[in-house]
Amino acid sequence: MAQKKAVIKQLQGITFVGKTDSNHWITMDGPEEFGGSNAGIRPKELLLVALGGCSGSDVASILQKKKIKLDNFEMNVSAEMADEHPQVFTAMHIEYVFTGKNIPVADVERAINLSQTKYCSVTKMFSKAMEVTHSYKIIEPEG
């Protein structure tokens, strides 16, 4: 079985840097009132970015293979959080936003479906702990 590793180092207070097998560092931090310096993304927020990055790379790759031209592609990932500690995420939602001319709806829906049901390992992991939903919109540029 394959294994992934990460190294996390404390810089000061609750400011940490982490590096994974890909050898890229990321800064994680908290607000000043909790001993941080407000200099990085919150560790739990990385989960939102991980979900969007994982699924987005699937969708972009599938649409590229189908030679679908996009002017822009972005995702808005949101999460609901428990009120009590530990304040875990209880649900996540990805809104896929595509901009371009004549983007085929069927191809967009197929790409999203393949990512959500077959390829995105982050979706699969999170789905074991909470509901992960999605929606999309296609914006046709004017002119």
Mean pLDDT on 36-43: 95
Counting residues of the chain whose pLDDT is more than 70, the rounded percentage is 100
**Phi then psi for 64, rounded to 5 degrees?**
-65, -40
Q: Say if residue 143's pLDDT is above 80.
A: no
- 16, 10 Cβ separation under 8 angstroms: yes
The gap from C-alpha 107 to its chain's centroid, in whole angstroms, comes to 21
Q: Is the pTM of this model over 0.85?
A: yes
Instruction: Give the mean pLDDT of the chain.
Output: 97
Where do the structural domains in the chain lie, given as residue ranges? 1-41, 45-139
3-state SS, one letter per residue, for 80-100: EECCCCCCCEEEEEEEEEEEC
Q: Say if residue 124's pLDDT is above 80.
A: yes
Mean pLDDT on 6-11: 96
Under the banding of pLDDT at 50, 70 and 90, the label for residue 142 is: confident
pLDDT digits (tens, 9 = 90+) for 79-109: 999 999 999 999 999 999 999 999 999 999 9
Alpha-carbon gap, residue 126 to 133, rounded angstroms: 11
The verdict on domain 45-139 having CATH code 3.40.50.300 is no
Mean pLDDT on 27-41: 95
- 70, 142 Cβ separation under 8 angstroms: no
